[in-house]
Amino acid sequence: MTATTPRTAYDIPIEADVNTAPSLLDGAMSLELSPRRCNVEYWLGAVAQGTLRGMVNGHSAGAVVPDWMRGSGPLRQALIEEFAFRSIAEEKATRAISYLVLNAPDTDTMEFFATQLLDEARHASVFRGHLLELGVARDELSATIEALAGVDRDRVLVPLEQFGLPLGRDDSDFIGGVVVLTVLVEGVLAPAAELSERKWRVLDPAAAEIERAAGVDEIRHLSVGSSVVKTYLEANPSELPRVKDLIGRGRAMWAQLPVLEMLLRREMLFQEGMTQRAAEIGDYEIWPGRRLIDSRPEERLATAATWSYEMQESRLAYMGLS
Ligand SMILES: [Fe+2]
Ligand SMILES: [Fe+2]
């Protein structure tokens, strides 16, 4: 009989460590993860004891919220609007994922979506928590979120919810729900999160760390979600036309939503605030070869749109849906 050495600590996989994981875009385009790997056992080790180790409010304990983010002005306004909206989006995702947990076809897949449900609830919580760190009073938090993101919620998130929620809630359509979440929600929004992390890196390091850790979760969500769809379509090729039709209808719906208008409004605020902090930003590059201080609102959005397109194309090809 051979003795095994008891493990004293969990070995954190590369993709779950905020210091070693690839960027959200690189990871979401290249990593392959399955529900079998990313079950509850994986989450308890890799995420709870890895990604989240030592974190307070979703960032490292020493991460700073600079004074200029606490005083009123366009930078603070831009971030509060962004995180208020994101907190609502993450909460809606959490609630919707409960139908994927309910309808999951096997234990590993059920466990994976149970962990994703918790991840999204955590994201909603840390975005709200950062609003408190920016000086929003606790008893004014709900009213602030409503005032700054209520209209965008009704114009963007509610139609998205009305499109996706009936699949799991009314039709017990598991794979339809996964396609909406992976292709039409996370696949579309991930590049905006990457842009946000890069934009705030110097101006609000705590916010950037929150985005980074959420991005590490997002890599896993996109990779496992894609793997679930790929495996399903390989086993059920007759479903291909229905899934393609769902994606087509979802994209047509996205095209009707005033997302660009919302993002541009925030980028304009960011631009106004950023120019006031040129000394702190210095030569920091938002992407290789481009200084943040020289970048323009439309340029940043166009770049994020390119990332979004490239990521979606590579993921759809992987799933057999291009
Ligand atoms: Fe999330
Ligand atoms: Fe996610």
Question: What pLDDT is recorded for position 212?
Answer: 95
Q: What is the pLDDT of residues 10-43, one digit of tens each?
A: 788 999 999 889 888 888 788 899 999 999 999 9
The number of angstroms, rounded, from the C-alpha of 50 to the middle of its chain's C-alpha atoms is 18
Please say whether the beta carbons of 185 and 164 come within 8 A: yes
Low pLDDT (below 70) residues in the chain: 1-9
pLDDT of 1 = 46
pTM summary value: 0.95
The answer to whether the Cα torsion of 103, 107, 112, 115 is positive or negative is positive
> What's the CA-to-centroid distance between 280 and ligand 2, angstroms?
32
Report the separation in Å between the CA atom of 184 and the middle of ligand 1, taken as the mean of its atom positions: 14
Cα 272 to ligand 2 centroid, rounded to whole Å: 30
- How far apart are the CA of 189 and the centre of ligand 2, in A? 10
DSSP 112-172: HHHHHHHHHHHHHHHHHHHHHHTT--GGGHHHHHHHHHHHHIIIIIHHHHHHHHHHHHTT-
CA 146 – ligand 2 centroid, Å: 22
User: How many whole angstroms separate alpha carbon 74 and alpha carbon 69?
Assistant: 9
Q: Distance from the CA of 245 to the center of ligand 1, in angstroms?
A: 25
H or E segment to which residue 287 belongs:
strand 285-287
